[in-house]
């Protein structure tokens, strides 16, 4: 599923990213760096765009509430299951945790969203690649290092197609 955002939605996402960054700074919460090329604000923006894309696709409400104790999940499905959304700024990206610890995958389900046209730096068109349960992730993950510390990750081929999430569980 590929979703294209209009300018109004992108501006709103950017303003939400500014608020998220301001709250984290105010509470002395340090972001886990996942890119040397992007600022924390840009990373928050990417994440918010990805979260909104998944919520829009699934037809569920998006609540950008800042979870200051740490983001255990990003979305809640109507059946109560929680969803962690991961964004990658290139089409071949993996679903990767921010660490090499399985216990850091706290949501019930993980969803991967990738930029469709990263070469132009445009997050206006995003692809919901697929999803995986926490248990499946634990069985299939591998330790990887993208240059900023070890992570646990699965390849896109390990994910279920997005259209099956609507009926999962």
Helices (H) and strands (E) in the chain, counts: 3, 9
Mean pLDDT of 131-136: 98
Tell me the backbone φ, ψ of residue 89, rounded to 5 degrees.
-90, 20
Between 128 and 10, the more confident residue is: 128
The pLDDT value recorded for residue 131 is: 97
Between 161 and 149, the more confident residue is: 161
CA dihedral 147, 24, 27, 61 (to 10 degrees): -130
Between 7 and 156, the more confident residue is: 156
Do 122 and 3 meet the contact criterion of CB atoms below 8 Å apart?
no
Q: Quick: pLDDT tens for 62-120.
A: 877 645 445 688 899 999 899 999 999 888 999 999 899 999 999 999 999 998 875 55
Rg (CA), the chain: 15
Do 85 and 108 meet the contact criterion of CB atoms below 8 Å apart?
no
Q: Which long-range contacts (CB under 8 A, 24 or more apart) does 64-70 make?
A: 64/16, 64/20, 66/19, 66/20, 66/23, 66/24, 68/23, 68/24, 68/27, 68/29
Q: Quick: pLDDT tens for 19-30.
A: 777 777 676 666
Token pair 């990805």 in the structure block, residue: 50
Classify residue 21 as left (phi > 0), alpha (psi -120 to 50) or beta: alpha
Q: Quick: pLDDT tens for 7-64.
A: 677 677 767 767 777 777 676 666 665 566 777 777 778 888 888 889 989 989 887 7
Mean pLDDT of 129-149: 95
């Amino acid at each position: 599923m590929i979703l294209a955002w209009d300018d109004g939605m992108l501006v709103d996402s950017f303003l939400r990213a500014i608020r998220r960054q301001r709250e984290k700074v105010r509470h002395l919460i340090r972001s886990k760096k996942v890119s040397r090329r992007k600022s924390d604000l840009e990373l928050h923006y990417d994440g918010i765009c990805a979260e909104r894309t998944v919520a829009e696709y699934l037809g569920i409400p998006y609540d950008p509430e800042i979870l200051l104790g740490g983001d255990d999940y990003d979305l809640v499905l109507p059946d109560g299951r929680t969803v962690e959304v991961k964004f990658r700024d290139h089409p071949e990206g993996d679903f990767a945790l921010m660490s090499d610890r399985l216990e850091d995958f706290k949501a019930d389900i993980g969803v991967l969203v990738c930029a469709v046209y990263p070469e132009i730096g445009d997050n206006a068109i995003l692809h919901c690649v697929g999803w995986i349960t926490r248990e499946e992730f634990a069985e299939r993950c591998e330790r990887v290092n993208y240059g900023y510390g070890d992570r646990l990750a699965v390849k896109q081929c390990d994910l279920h197609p997005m259209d099956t999430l609507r009926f999962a569980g």
